[in-house]
Structure 1
Amino acid sequence: MTETASAPFDDIRRLIATMPGPDEDAVEAVRARDRQLTKPAGGLGRLEWLAEWVAAWQGKSPSIDRPMVCVFAGSHGVVARGVSAFPSEVNRQMLENFSAGGAAINQICADLGLGFKVFDLAIDMPTRDIVEDAAMDEKSCVATMAFGMESLAGGTDLLAVGEMGIGNTTIAAAIYAALYGGDAAHWVGRGTGLDDEGLKRKIAAVEGALDRHRDHLKDPLEVLRRLGGREIAAIAGAILAARLQRIPLILDGYVTTAAAAILHAIHPAALDHCIAGHLSAEGAHQDVLQRLGKIPLLALGMRLGEGSGAALAAGIVKSAVAIHRNMATFDQAGVSGRLPQA
């Protein structure tokens, strides 16, 4: 009997099926130490939970020695429809700005001691216009996901992921509308500052894309290849690789979360190793985060992208782990511990 060749997406599904779970012993060790630290129980709120979360996915006493921010950059054919306030040429210019150290993310990473990498995903070759065709074929989509997985090869113990790409808030909105339904207008925001006419064009583009691909949107991976972009596919790959390598991960904003939403739609536990770095001002990000069961660390009204919110959140995670590791215990400080409960 002849074996049937597997499709490229089958490999992704198999990897998702092998995802490890949290290390509960590491979590309990964090809680045991926390009970001995010179503070009231629960006094540090979510910072205490963050130390547990890092331990759960590192599988050991939490430590952050090599934090990394990875930004994935792509371009989109749908931009030709006037869905962005900026032209596609800005993609290349922003990559050069990253390289020169002039972007906001460069300043955040330098200030907080975070490594920074940016990945050019054929920035000068836009994906196909999603209103007229699928953005990618299955093979190239999986290859881009694999590229995102390989981006972790240099090693890190805390990963923050972000994106850059003119027009990609249109792409994210189309993905959310495909996954969750509802009017396109609910998911579409003003991106980099669209006027009212631009917003109408953006909504129309999302509506047109949904209509074009309506018969193929039940499979989340088909949603990704038909409506997504290379940066979103690469981020999905990075999220999956981080899970397989037991690396805790911080999601950035509206566009980055679209990649996470694809994985969540395939398997509801696929994002257990992820936290939301911040609540973006773009689109319906809060709606998405609620659907994913994520409470953002920050809500600063940002919608910049480029990993900026995730990087700022990484500073908080670093502090949470430093407190847990370095804070004195009651015995070390000579402070009387709590009386036993009656």
Structure 2
Amino acid sequence: MIDLSSVAAFDRALATLPVANAAAADAARARQQQLTKPPGSLGRLEELAIFLAGWQGSPRPSMAAARAVIFAGNHGVAAQGVSAFPAEVTAQMVANFAAGGAAINALTGAIGMPLEVVALDLDRPTQDFTAGPAMDEAACLSALMQGAAAVTPETDLLLLGEMGIANSTAAAALCLRSFGGTPADWVGPGTGLDSHGVRHKGALIERAIALHASAPLTPFETLRRVGGRELAAIGGAVLAARHAGVPILLDGFICCAAIAPLAATVPGIVDHCIAGHCSVEPGHAQLLDRLGLEPLLWLGMRLGEGSGAAVAAAVIRSALAAHNGMATFAEAGVAGAA
């Protein structure tokens, strides 16, 4: 497993990112040219197959060992009234995941994808980041390592999601500190705040950014100061997956915001990532643009917990079914394009 036991180790891992297997991608691209269809006629489905071939290192990529992992954490800033739901809902929803009763259970079940839920110290919320850092160094490193530990090298596609009351506040703060702008650029209703609640949320984020303005603008410091355990865990999982050659399927605004501090410094961290969808949380479209990721789906979703990514996984499965299951012109005895 990748070493994320120190800030220096984290920085080294971020600075030494492996790249995709160009030969496997080229072989998959050549296969697409020989399948019984006009070249390019399956659009994004062809691109997905070639993308996965490169990261899996195989001209015939697979989803046989695809997995979904949902990270859950609690946030001290929830005490400031930034969510329509109380903090105890995080643990209650984790119990619902375990019982199989949540949307992500139904959606991963529909495509036969195993689901794992990693709860990170739910009885110990992060500190309120409007008053100080959300986590100390040890807590942030622990969360990063727990995220990395969820990655197994045999996984061929890893779907990531999150659960945590008030984590849309942390997500907006991560984006603002990483990419700049104003709170209004990144703040949205989250679990259903009205306009007054959104303004209150924005004011708190502005206060937090000012409080931490003198801290180093590094990925680690941004994660630990205005992030959360589940968000740091997503960052650790994305980084570990890159070193293991495992492609990532990202969910919505909060999941993508977890890697904003990494991408602001090392844009290539997203090269092995697919954005499953664009949510209606206002900052998500802008964030995807900053990350250079084109979402697969636009379905008006805003649930989180990996739900949009799970729907997108069905599209990826279709892409691989076409890539691996279609006949070539030679196999079908069909005349190819001139």
Which TM-score bucket, shorter chain as reference? over 0.9
Q: Which residue of 1 aligns with 2:13?
A: 15
1:75-224 equivalences in 2 (<5 Å) = 75-153=74-152, 155-224=154-223
Question: Residue 316 of structure 1 aligns to a residue in which SS?
Answer: helix
Alignment check: 8 A CA contact 2:36 2:328 kept: yes
| CA-based RMSD | 1.4
What is the CA-CA distance between 1:266 and the residue it aligns to? 2.6
Question: Residue 64 of structure 2 aligns to a residue in which SS?
Answer: coil
Q: Take 1:16 and 1:211, find their aligned partners in 2: how far apart are those partners?
A: 27
Alignment check: 8 A CA contact 2:153 2:244 kept: no
Q: Which residue of 2 aligns with 1:261?
A: 260
1:32 corresponds to which of 16, 27, 30: 30
**Residue identity opposite 2:229 in structure 1:** R
Q: Which residue of 2 aligns with 1:236?
A: 235
TM-superposition CA deviations, 1:13-36 (whole Å, max 9, x none): 111222210111001101111111
What is the CA-CA distance between 1:87 and the residue it aligns to? 0.2
Alignment check: 8 A CA contact 1:23 1:56 kept: yes
What is the CA-CA distance between 1:196 and the residue it aligns to? 2.4
1:44 corresponds to which of 42, 45, 64: 42
Question: Residue 299 of structure 1 aligns to a residue in which SS?
Answer: coil
**Residue identity opposite 1:59 in structure 2:** G
What is the CA-CA distance between 1:220 and the residue it aligns to? 2.3
TM-superposition CA deviations, 1:154-191 (whole Å, max 9, x none): 84110110100000000000111111212112210000
Alignment check: 8 A CA contact 2:5 2:145 kept: no
Q: Which residue of 1 aligns with 2:273?
A: 274
**Residue identity opposite 2:122 in structure 1:** I
Q: Which moved more, 1:244-253 or 1:196-205?
A: 196-205
Alignment check: 8 A CA contact 2:277 2:298 kept: yes
Q: Take 1:231 and 1:207, find their aligned partners in 2: how far apart are those partners?
A: 22
Q: Which moved more, 1:210-219 or 1:33-42?
A: 210-219
Q: Take 1:32 and 1:108, find their aligned partners in 2: how far apart are those partners?
A: 33
TM-superposition CA deviations, 1:280-303 (whole Å, max 9, x none): 111311111111111000001111
TM-superposition CA deviations, 1:320-339 (whole Å, max 9, x none): 11211110111222222112
How many equivalent residue pairs? 334
Q: Which residue of 2 aligns with 1:3?
A: none
Alignment check: 8 A CA contact 1:81 1:201 kept: no
TM-superposition CA deviations, 1:126-158 (whole Å, max 9, x none): 100000010001122112101100012384110
Q: Take 1:308 and 1:154, find their aligned partners in 2: how far apart are those partners?
A: 24
Question: Residue 215 of structure 1 aligns to a residue in which SS?
Answer: coil
Gaps of 5+ in 2: none
Question: Residue 119 of structure 1 aligns to a residue in which SS?
Answer: strand
Alignment check: 8 A CA contact 1:178 1:217 kept: no
Share of identical aligned residues, percent?
51
Question: Residue 238 of structure 1 aligns to a residue in which SS?
Answer: helix
Question: Residue 269 of structure 1 aligns to a residue in which SS?
Answer: helix
Q: Which residue of 2 aligns with 1:323?
A: 322
What is the CA-CA distance between 1:268 and the residue it aligns to? 1.5
CA distance 1:217–1:285, shift in 2 (3 Å): farther
The alignment's TM-score, normalised by the length of structure 2, stands at 0.96
What is the CA-CA distance between 1:259 and the residue it aligns to? 1.5
Question: Residue 118 of structure 2 aligns to a residue in which SS?
Answer: strand
Q: Take 2:273 and 2:146, find their aligned partners in 1: how far apart are those partners?
A: 20
**Residue identity opposite 2:135 in structure 1:** M
What is the CA-CA distance between 1:197 and the residue it aligns to? 2.5
**Residue identity opposite 1:63 in structure 2:** S
Q: Which residue of 2 aligns with 1:56?
A: 54
The alignment's TM-score, normalised by the length of structure 1, stands at 0.95
